[in-house]
Every structure is written in structure tokens, then in C-alpha cells.
């Protein structure tokens, strides 16, 4: 109690009423806890309750004599208890307004009398007795405890009577300590929940949204789903390394009116991310929107349809605001008198309010949702065991990740009787029974009746599973009755939107039965079937199953139709529908690398290419979706180019459908790595539509795809020229601020490419792009940092730009990126430093001003990444032009580190390494040091390299080294002269001069040598 009262309880701080307990919710719950403890004390611990306090607890009470009953001695206004302590003082004494109490039994009696004023009494008592434990047990707690220890050891056995009372004291102490612990842990729990959302709240909200996103006119959303089926034991679905950043889970929500939303739920709130679509993806975690307090707020702000309908629909009614607590907390904020924090407090209150508004709704949710688990517990699911297909044991479910934990949690929270099972459960159970015993007619009718349920609702979905309905539905697929198969698939197609159902279907081997139907001659059946596969194959194991049972081939075969005929017969239309569903299924399957390969081997690329000519957007979206998914593979990129799909992709860029445009742009993004593809995009006039997509700034995914495509296309200089006609650079520069990271990465990549053309460097400067670029150097996203440093580096090749970069302290920022753990960032930063140092006005001074900078760069020579090493060598070559800095580099041991690298065979590294060696020779005895360290011999070998750039820098380095006689001897021994003479015939003047100079030095030494021999 001591600890919790001093630490946890929120005492008001305003001077006027110091020592009051602030009426915060936490204090209220604390008081309640204390109250309960005291009230139950005398019944639970009668002996301890009689223990007389060392000092009475005194406080001013609101109770008066008339409140006391007859078993007290009442005289006028004063009241005394008949019980007295051993000194004759009454254990309870009231002389208004003060009351003195000397034992727990009296305390609890008093509280009973106080009735509805109990809380106030407890509060007053605690406020006026700031350290009740000391008063109750006396100040010398330590001595008691010592005694206790001794006692438990059984050593002391004297003074029994006193001992006994001490004994009680110890017990009392322990009891109070227990209470203290309880209070603290309760406080902690409360505080835990305060920060914002928690997994439970998120899940409940998602469930609520799911219930309202089922089909029908009244639905507010098209669909709501998690990206990951796996739930960690703490209720989170985010991968652990994201959980470390307080992220709980990711959602994909399709609103009715806008494009699909990719949402991150974190403890701080919810926000849009860069498009985390499936589990296992490594990108898109960046925040791309403001943080909203909950999903509803986010949806309301993004989807007008949702905002409009959400207000109409019942879940608004489900959320009666609980004003009371909120009010209390607001008062608290005022009383604390901390105006500077008031904003934060307000915000917290909003959170609090929202959560509390949700509280009743949660209960509601649970009511509808949780019985599934309980049915399991109660063994009500026996029908499952009856069907032969139900061979899946129960524990297979509880083992498999998510749902068990999830549902367990709920059954813990809701341990009531099972009277509140939803009526849907019983009805579905009944229907499943009919399915099992009925003939063909009954089956068809039952399936129709089942379809009448809201199958997009989790309650119904799980009810079907829990009563063994999945097995029956799957069994129906193996019968001969087309009607029954259609009915079964119509149900499976819908319930397979649920992750648990998907997993259950795969676990029981149902996917194999589903795939068999792909061979059916009935087209309606095939279309439904493929659509079901599209839903089920949303996780890895399912996708693997599809592949292993030859499903990919069958699905590819479905694509065979004539999509672009003007007038289709009814049959042809059905073919198109089958192909569309097949494409949907392949899209789901194409998330796995091996499936991409399987699709290609089955001839899917050609088929997809043909469907790409379809005029229908609902066909094009899955087709292009699959293609862009597969374009991560080299083989597809080639095929897309050679099969002439670039033309179609470019054409579809101009369709007015955001999703389609996004997939097309993404496909171009992935394919435009290839030069020929870039050419084709220009040829088919795809550059302008790409630029015009930049105006759709509200759709971040589309924007990211479009900027990505522009980036890759701009690798070709001709494309950059073309882009300039549409003022692409100016638009891109506007996108350098306030954009989500995945957009920024691409924009920066593009700016980096554009900046390779001198005219564009000036444009960037004039549009204020340099400042935006430098600002972005402080980011954390590695891909972004790589691209921003590239862009800054490209800009720094212009003197005027360099002045601005220098002014904005950009070099320091780039330099500090050398500390980034990512090798890509390190090398990119080092490359960017080269032009910066070269073009800065007073480069030497600038470099020196960066404390520890030179040591940092020398240390990076210990990297194992060749690209990093090459870039650092290049930077060192630039730095070493300043003598003072070279001296510092030398002090840091640059000679030894460079020498260690000389045995490399990487030409790119060799080139820059030789350049660095050449420049580092210019200080003190460095030439000799290189020789002593053994750098000369390997360098000679570089002259045999096939790379001309290596020859040039090597010759220059050798020329520098040859000014040390010992090095000349080494070189000569290694046969350098012949190699150099060969290079003396080069048409590169620098190479030629360096080679000649080196040979001259060797020759001079030889002559001196001969003279010495002759004359001495």
C-alpha cells in the first residue's frame, strides 16, 4: 500500500489543495480496491482484524453520531465503541468531525455504516494518513521483520505472548504488502491500456467492420481482412521486428467508393501504410497518412461512402458514449493546471473516450463472436467426428497458430454460461445435419437456405466450420451432382474470405477436391471453383498445395478464351468469365516464386498476354496484377517484352481505373530495368501517361507505382529528354515533400537519374529541389537514403548546386550516413561525397570541420563489401588531395588498410583502390610505406586487367610509387617495364604519361646504379 500510494496514486499538484487524491479513473479504481480490501478484511482475517494499530488512523469524517447504530456508546455528538484496547482507549472514537480508528474490524464496521459514502471515507482516510502502514504497524517494521525471520528459523522461542502479537503483526504486514502489490499491478495494467490501441481493441473493431462489410446494399465496406493469419501470443499480427515499433497488425480494407486501403494498426493509432498486402512482404511499412485514433476515424476521413453510411447504421447506436469518466478526466486535466500539456491530455482524452465508447460494443462483439471457442470446449462439435472427411483432429486447429490463442483469450474474458449462443449457430447446425442426411433435393434446398445467411460474417463462417459443415461441403464436391457442387462452391467461395476457414480447408485436404473440379466441363462450375481457389490460395501453404497437385496447369488452361471478340455468344461469355476467375486464382498463386515459374512453364505468359487485349477492366485487373507480380522474375520481364505486352500495358495506363493503372505502372516499373523495355515504353508513347498519373496524388499506391515506372524509365537519357517535354522533373520535385516513403524512394530515384543531365541540375536548383533533397538526408528508410544520396551526389557535380548543398550542411549529413549499418547506404553516401569534395569551395577545410569524419572513412576500409570499399577508396582519393587531410588519413593507418585490399580481383575496386594509393603517396614516407607493406607487386598485376580504367589509375599510382627506389626494384622484378611500355602506346594521354614517367624513374635508377658500380 505504501508504494502504490506514493508512486502510483495521482496526487494533485496544485498548491491550493495539496495532498488530495486527484479524481482520475486510476485513483478511483485504486480506492475501490482499498475499500474492498478493508471491507472483506474482518471476515477473511478475523484474528488480524482485531489487532490494535500502533497509532490510530485519524481523519475528518462526514459521518455523524446518528449514523451509528446502537452497539456503539453514543453520547450527544460523540461516539465510542464498546471495545477498548489494553490501555482502555476505545477502538473507535468519533468527536465530529474527527474520527479515530484503531483496528481493521472497526474500520470495516465503519465503512459498512458509511454505506454510499464509503468511497469518500476511504479517500479522506488515505488523504489524511499519508502513510497508513506506519500508523498501523508502527515505525519499526524492520525489527518485526527480523523477528519474523528468526521465528521462521525456529531459533527464538521466548516471550510467547508478545511473540504471538508480533506474529499477527507480521501476517498483517504481509497482507498489506499483498494489497500493495495488487494495487500496483492493477495500476500498471490500467496504464498499459492508456497509450492508445491494444490488440484486443483492434480486433474488436475489425470484427465490427467485418460484420458491416458483408454483402448487400447496406454494407459500408467491400471487404476487411488481415494481411497475416498468424496471431502472436500477445494478440499482435505484425512480425516481431515491427512489434518492436509498437505495430499491432496490418489490414487491407476495400471501401465501396475508393481504392483499397492498406492500414497499419499500432498502439499509437492507425494510419495508412505503403501497401502491405500479404504476409512476409518486406516493404511498405512506411506511414503514408496521418495517424487516426481508430479505424473508423480513418475510414471516415478516406471513404465518404463509409462516413455517410457508418452514421446511419446500427453500430453508431452500439456506441453510447460514457460521458462520466471522460468528464472526470477532463476535470483532472484542468486541475493539474499544466497548460503546456493540455493538448496532449486532450488527445489522450479523445483516445480514452473512443475506447470507452467502444467498450459496450466490445461486449456486443464478443457475444456474437466468441461462442465458437466455447462450443469447442463444450464438445458440442461432435458432428465433426461423424463425417469421414472430418478426420482432422481438433488439436490440429488449436496447434495451428492463430485462432486458438485468439479464441482462448476470449473465453477467458467471458466465462459465462452458453445460453447466449447466436441463433445462427443452431440454424446452421441444423442445416448441416440436413446436408448429411438429405437426398439431392434436400441438399440443394439446404444449400440455398445456407446461402441466405450472411456468409461474409465471421460468426456464420466459423459456425459452419465448427459444426463440421466444411467437411460436408467439401464432400459434396466429390459427388456427381453439378447442382450440389455449384451450391457448395457458392458457399465456400464466400466463407473462404475468412483466414480460419482457408486454413481449415487446406488442413482437411479440401483444396485437392476443389482443384479436381477445374477439369469439369461445366463452365459455371469452373468459374466458381477458380474464384474459390483465388480466395483460399492467399497463404503460402495453400499456394504450394495448388502447385503440387497440378493446379497451376489447370488454372492456366482456364485462361483459354477469345477475350476481345466484339459480339460474344452466351457460351463465349461464360468462357471469358471462367478465364477471369482463372486469372484471379493465378493472381493469388503468383505470390509464390515457384508458382511464377510453374505458371510460365504451363504457358501462362502467352495466355495472359492474350487476355491483356481484353477490353474489360475486371479482366484486366487480375491479368495485369498477375503479370506485375510475376515481373519480379527475369524470365517474365523478358517474356513481357518479347510477347509485345509492353504496348498493352502502356495502353492500359490511360484507362480511367486507378487499380488497373497502378498494376500497369508497377509492371512497367519492374520491367523497365531492361533497356529495350524502356525504349518500347517511349515508342508506344507511355511516358506521357506516366507523367499524367502524377496528378493522382491522393492515391499513394498509384503514385508510388507511377513514380517507380518513371524512375526506371528515366535510366535512358532519351526518355529523360522526352519526360522533360511534359515537365516531369518539376512535378517530381513537388512530390519531394509530404509523401509516403515508397513514393519518395521512387521520386528520388528518378530525380537522381534526371540530374545526370546538366540542364536538369539547374532546374532542380531553381525549383528549390536541393533543399528538399538535403532535408531527406535525415530519413531512416534505407532504400530512400540510397536514392537520396545518389540524387544529392548527382546534383553536387554542379558548382552552383554545391554551394547550396554546402550552405545547408548537406555534406555533413551525407557524411554521417557512412555510419548507417546498410552497406548500400554506406557506398551510396561515399559515392555522393566524391563530387561534393571535388566541387566544394574550400573542401579541405570543410572535411576537417567534420569531427571524426576521417577516422570514420578510414575505418570503412575494413568493410567486406566491395562496393563500399570501392566507393570509400574513391572518396579517399578525393580527400587526399588536401595535404593536411592526407596527413590525418595517414595517421589513421590508411596505407596499411589500402595495402590489405590490393589482392582483390574486382576491377571496379582495383580502379578506385589504385587511385587512392596514387593520391596517398603524396605525404611523407607513404611511398616507402606502401612498398614495405607490399602494395607494389599486386598493383603491377593490375596492368594485366582487361579494364582500361584500371590501367589508367594503376599507371598513375605506379608512377607515384616509382619515386621510391625500392619500389622501382620491386616493380622491375615483377616485370612492370614490359607492361608499361605496352601502355605507353595508349591513346589516353594520362595513362601514357604516367606509364612513361614510371618507366623513366626505373630507368634513372638503373642508370644511377650502373654509375655507382662504375665509379665506386
Binding site for another protein (CB under 8 A): 430, 433-434, 436-442, 444-449, 451-452, 481-483, 486-487, 490, 521-522
Shortest reach from residue 256's CB to another protein, in Å: 22
What burial class does residue 865 get, using C-beta atoms within 10 Å of its C-beta: 0-12 exposed, 13-18 middle, 19+ buried?
Answer: middle
Cα–Cα distance measured from residue 226 to residue 206, given in angstroms and rounded to the nearest whole number: 9
| Helix H or strand E segment including 265 | strand 261-266
CB closer to another protein out of 20 and 433: 433
Q: Do 592 and 543 touch, CB atoms closer than 8 A?
A: yes
CB closer to another protein out of 486 and 702: 486
Shortest reach from residue 438's CB to another protein, in Å: 5
Contacts of 246 (CB under 8 A, 6+ apart): 266, 267, 268
Shortest reach from residue 317's CB to another protein, in Å: 28
Give pairs for 217-221: CB < 8 Å, separation 24+.
218/309, 218/313, 219/256, 219/309, 220/256, 220/305, 220/306, 220/309, 220/310, 220/313, 221/253, 221/254, 221/255, 221/256, 221/299, 221/303, 221/306
CB closer to another protein out of 11 and 434: 434
Shortest reach from residue 582's CB to another protein, in Å: 20
Closest by CA to 721, choosing from 758, 692, 684, 673, is 758
Three-state DSSP at 809 gives coil
CB closer to another protein out of 390 and 604: 390
Shortest reach from residue 529's CB to another protein, in Å: 15
Cα–Cα distance measured from residue 930 to residue 898, given in angstroms and rounded to the nearest whole number: 9
| Helix H or strand E segment including 609 | helix 604-611
Sign of the Cα pseudo-torsion (793, 794, 797, 800, in order): negative
Burial 31-70 (b: 16+ CB within 10 A, else e): bebbbebbbebbeebeebbebbbeebbebebebeeebbee
CB closer to another protein out of 474 and 486: 486
CB closer to another protein out of 278 and 436: 436
Shortest reach from residue 475's CB to another protein, in Å: 13
Shortest reach from residue 726's CB to another protein, in Å: 50
CB closer to another protein out of 440 and 905: 440
Strands (E), 8-111: 52-60, 73-75, 78-80, 92-95, 98-103
Shortest reach from residue 38's CB to another protein, in Å: 58
DSSP bridge pairs for 251: 226, 263
Q: Do 65 and 94 touch, CB atoms closer than 8 A?
A: yes
CB closer to another protein out of 245 and 448: 448
CB closer to another protein out of 447 and 875: 447
Question: Distances from the Cα of 276 to the Cαs of 263, 286, 313, 608, 700, in angstroms?
Answer: 8, 9, 29, 25, 13
Written as one string, the DSSP assignment of 537-578 is TTSHHHHHHHHHTTHHHHHHHHT-S-TT-SS--HHHHHHHHH
CB closer to another protein out of 489 and 868: 489
Three-state DSSP at 252 gives strand
Pairing mode, strands 269-272 and 92-95:
unpaired
Shortest reach from residue 480's CB to another protein, in Å: 8
Shortest reach from residue 512's CB to another protein, in Å: 23
Three-state DSSP at 736 gives coil
Shortest reach from residue 445's CB to another protein, in Å: 5
Shortest reach from residue 521's CB to another protein, in Å: 7
Shortest reach from residue 431's CB to another protein, in Å: 8
Closest by CA to 346, choosing from 333, 336, 355, is 333
CB closer to another protein out of 338 and 520: 520
Backbone region of residue 832 per phi and psi (left: phi > 0; alpha: psi in -120 to 50; beta: other values):
alpha
Shortest reach from residue 429's CB to another protein, in Å: 13
Three-state DSSP at 130 gives coil
CB closer to another protein out of 116 and 382: 382
Cell of 887: 596527413
CB closer to another protein out of 350 and 444: 444
Cα atoms found within 13 Å of the Cα of residue 598, Cβ hemisphere only:
24
Cα–Cα distance measured from residue 862 to residue 858, given in angstroms and rounded to the nearest whole number: 8
Strands (E), 61-121: 73-75, 78-80, 92-95, 98-103
CB closer to another protein out of 445 and 767: 445
20 phi, psi to nearest 5 deg = -100, 150
3-class DSSP string for 625-668: HHHHHHCCCHHHHHHHHHCCHHHHHHHHHCCCCHHHHHHHHHHH
CB closer to another protein out of 395 and 452: 452
Question: Distances from the Cα of 648 to the Cαs of 483, 612, 664, 668, 919, in angstroms?
Answer: 39, 7, 9, 11, 53
User: CB count, 10 Å around CB of 520?
Assistant: 13
CB closer to another protein out of 451 and 762: 451
Shortest reach from residue 520's CB to another protein, in Å: 9
Shortest reach from residue 669's CB to another protein, in Å: 43
Cell of 192: 498499459
Amino acid at each position: 500500500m505504501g508504494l502504490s500510494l506514493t508512486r502510483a496514486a495521482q496526487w494533485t499538484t496544485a498548491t491550493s489543495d495539496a495532498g488530495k487524491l486527484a479524481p482520475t479513473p486510476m485513483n478511483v479504481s485504486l480506492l475501490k480496491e482499498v475499500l474492498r480490501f478493508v471491507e472483506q478484511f474482518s471476515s477473511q482475517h478475523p484474528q488480524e482484524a482485531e489487532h490494535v494499530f500502533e497509532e490510530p488512523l485519524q481523519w475528518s469524517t462526514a459521518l455523524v453520531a446518528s449514523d451509528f447504530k446502537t452497539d456503539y456508546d453514543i453520547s450527544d455528538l460523540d461516539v465510542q465503541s464498546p471495545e477498548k484496547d489494553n490501555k482502555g482507549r476505545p477502538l473507535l472514537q468519533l468527536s465530529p468531525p474527527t474520527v479515530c480508528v484503531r483496528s481493521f474490524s472497526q474500520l470495516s464496521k465503519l465503512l459498512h455504516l458509511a454505506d454510499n459514502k464509503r468511497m469518500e471515507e476511504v479517500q479522506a482516510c488515505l488523504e489524511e494518513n499519508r502513510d497508513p502502514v506506519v500508523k498501523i504497524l508502527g515505525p519499526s517494521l524492520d525489527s518485526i521483520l527480523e523477528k519474523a525471520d528468526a521465528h521462521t528459523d525456529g531459533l527464538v522461542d521466548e516471550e510467547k505472548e508478545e511473540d504471538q502479537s508480533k506474529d499477527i503483526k507480521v501476517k498483517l504486514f504481509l497482507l498489506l504488502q499483498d494489497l500493495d502489490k495488487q494495487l500496483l499491478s492493477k495500476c500498471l495494467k490500467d496504464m498499459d491500456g492508456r497509450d492508445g490501441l491494444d490488440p484486443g481493441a483492434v480486433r474488436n473493431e475489425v470484427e465490427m467492420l467485418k460484420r458491416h462489410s458483408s454483402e448487400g446494399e447496406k454494407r459500408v465496406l467491400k471487404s476487411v481482412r488481415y494481411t497475416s493469419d498468424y496471431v502472436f501470443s500477445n494478440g499482435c499480427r505484425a512480425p516481431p521486428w515491427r512489434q518492436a515499433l509498437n505495430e499491432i497488425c496490418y489490414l487491407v480494407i476495400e471501401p465501396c467508393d475508393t481504392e483499397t486501403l492498406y492500414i497499419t494498426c499500432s498502439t499509437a493509432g492507425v494510419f495508412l501504410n505503403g501497401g502491405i498486402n500479404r504476409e512476409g512482404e518486406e516493404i511498405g511499412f512506411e506511414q503514408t497518412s496521418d495517424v487516426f485514433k481508430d479505424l473508423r476515424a480513418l475510414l471516415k476521413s478516406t471513404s465518404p461512402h463509409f462516413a455517410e453510411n457508418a452514421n446511419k447504421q446500427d453500430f453508431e447506436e452500439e456506441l453510447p458514449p460514457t460521458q462520466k469518466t471522460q468528464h472526470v478526466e477532463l476535470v483532472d486535466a484542468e486541475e493539474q493546471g499544466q497548460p503546456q500539456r493540455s493538448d496532449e491530455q486532450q488527445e489522450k482524452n479523445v483516445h480514452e473516450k473512443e475506447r470507452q465508447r467502444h467498450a459496450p460494443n466490445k461486449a456486443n462483439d464478443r457475444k456474437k463472436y466468441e461462442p465458437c471457442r466455447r462450443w469447442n470446449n463444450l464438445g458440442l462439435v461432435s458432428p465433426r467426428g461423424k463425417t469421414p472427411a472430418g478426420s482432422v483432429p481438433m488439436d490440429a486447429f488449436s496447434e495451428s497458430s492463430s485462432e486458438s490463442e485468439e479464441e482462448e483469450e476470449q473465453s477467458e474474458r467471458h466465462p459465462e454460461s452458453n445460453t447466449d449462443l447466436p441463433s445462427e449457430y443452431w440454424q446452421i447446425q441444423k442445416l448441416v445435419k440436413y446436408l448429411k442426411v438429405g437426398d439431392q433435393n434436400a441438399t440443394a434446398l439446404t444449400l440455398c437456405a445456407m446461402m441466405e445467411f450472411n456468409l461474409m460474417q465471421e460468426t456464420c463462417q466459423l459456425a459452419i466450420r465448427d459444426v463440421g459443415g466444411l467437411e460436408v461441403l467439401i464432400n459434396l464436391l466429390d459427388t456427381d451432382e453439378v447442382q450440389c457442387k455449384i451450391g457448395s462452391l457458392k458457399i465456400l467461395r464466400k466463407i473462404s474470405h475468412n483466414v480460419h476457414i482457408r486454413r481449415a480447408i487446406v488442413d482437411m485436404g479440401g483444396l485437392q477436391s476443389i482443384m479436381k473440379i477445374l477439369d469439369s466441363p461445366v463452365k459455371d462450375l469452373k468459374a466458381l471453383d477458380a474464384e474459390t481457389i483465388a480466395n483460399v490460395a492467399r497463404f503460402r501453404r495453400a499456394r504450394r498445395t495448388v502447385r503440387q497437385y497440378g493446379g497451376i496447369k489447370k488454372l492456366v488452361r482456364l485462361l483459354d478464351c477469345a477475350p476481345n471478340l466484339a459480339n460474344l455468344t452466351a457460351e463465349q461469355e461464360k468462357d471469358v468469365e471462367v478465364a477471369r476467375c482463372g486469372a484471379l486464382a493465378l493472381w493469388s498463386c503468383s505470390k509464390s516464386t515457384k508458382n511464377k515459374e510453374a505458371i510460365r512453364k504451363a504457358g501462362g505468359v502467352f495466355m495472359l498476354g492474350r487476355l491483356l487485349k481484353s477490353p474489360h477492366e475486371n479482366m484486366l485487373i487480375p491479368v495485369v496484377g498477375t503479370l506485375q507480380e510475376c515481373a519480379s522474375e527475369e524470365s517474365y520481364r523478358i517474356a513481357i517484352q518479347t510477347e509485345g505486352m509492353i504496348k498493352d500495358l502502356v495502353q492500359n495506363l490511360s484507362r480511367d481505373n486507378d487499380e488497373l493503372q497502378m498494376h500497369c505502372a508497377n509492371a512497367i516499373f519492374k520491367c523497365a530495368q531492361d533497356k529495350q523495355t524502356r525504349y518500347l515504353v517511349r515508342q508506344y508513347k507511355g511516358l506521357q501517361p506516366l507523367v499524367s498519373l502524377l496528378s493522382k496524388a491522393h492515391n499513394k499506391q498509384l503514385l508510388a507505382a507511377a513514380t517507380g515506372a518513371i524512375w526506371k524509365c528515366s535510366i535512358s537519357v532519351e526518355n529523360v529528354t522526352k519526360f522533360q517535354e511534359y515537365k516531369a522533373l518539376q512535378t517530381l520535385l513537388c512530390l519531394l515533400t509530404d509523401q509516403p516513403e515508397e513514393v519518395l524512394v521512387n521520386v528520388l530515384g528518378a530525380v537522381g537519374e534526371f540530374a545526370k543531365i546538366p540542364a536538369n541540375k539547374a532546374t532542380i536548383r531553381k525549383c528549390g529541389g536541393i533543399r528538399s533533397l538535403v532535408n531527406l538526408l535525415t530519413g531512416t528508410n534505407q532504400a530512400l537514403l540510397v536514392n537520396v544520396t545518389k540524387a544529392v551526389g548527382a546534383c553536387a557535380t554542379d558548382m552552383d548546386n554545391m554551394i547550396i548543398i554546402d550552405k545547408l550542411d548537406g555534406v555533413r549529413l551525407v557524411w554521417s550516413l557512412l555510419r548507417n549499418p546498410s552497406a548500400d547506404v554506406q557506398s551510396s553516401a561515399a559515392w555522393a561525397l566524391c563530387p561534393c569534395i571535388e566541387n566544394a569551395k574550400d573542401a579541405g577545410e570543410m572535411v576537417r570541420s567534420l569531427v571524426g569524419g576521417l577516422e570514420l572513412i578510414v575505418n570503412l576500409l575494413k568493410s567486406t563489401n566491395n562496393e563500399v570499399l570501392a566507393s570509400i577508396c574513391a572518396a579517399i582519393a578525393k580527400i587526399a588531395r588536401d595535404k593536411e587531410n592526407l596527413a590525418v588519413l595517414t595517421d589513421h593507418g590508411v596505407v596499411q588498410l589500402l595495402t590489405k585490399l590490393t589482392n582483390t580481383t574486382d576491377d571496379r575496386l582495383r580502379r578506385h583502390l589504385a587511385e587512392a594509393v596514387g593520391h596517398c603517396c603524396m605525404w611523407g614516407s607513404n611511398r616507402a610505406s606502401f612498398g614495405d607493406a607490399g602494395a607494389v607487386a599486386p598493383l603491377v598485376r593490375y596492368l594485366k586487367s582487361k579494364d582500361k580504367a584500371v590501367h589508367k589509375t594503376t599507371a598513375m599510382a605506379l608512377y607515384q610509387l616509382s619515386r621510391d627506389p625500392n619500389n622501382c626494384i620491386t616493380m622491375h622484378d615483377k616485370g612492370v617495364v614490359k607492361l608499361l611500355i605496352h601502355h605507353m602506346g595508349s591513346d589516353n594521354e594520362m595513362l601514357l604519361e604516367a606509364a612513361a614517367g614510371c618507366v623513366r624513374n626505373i630507368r634513372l635508377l638503373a642508370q644511377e646504379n650502373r654509375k655507382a658500380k662504375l665509379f665506386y
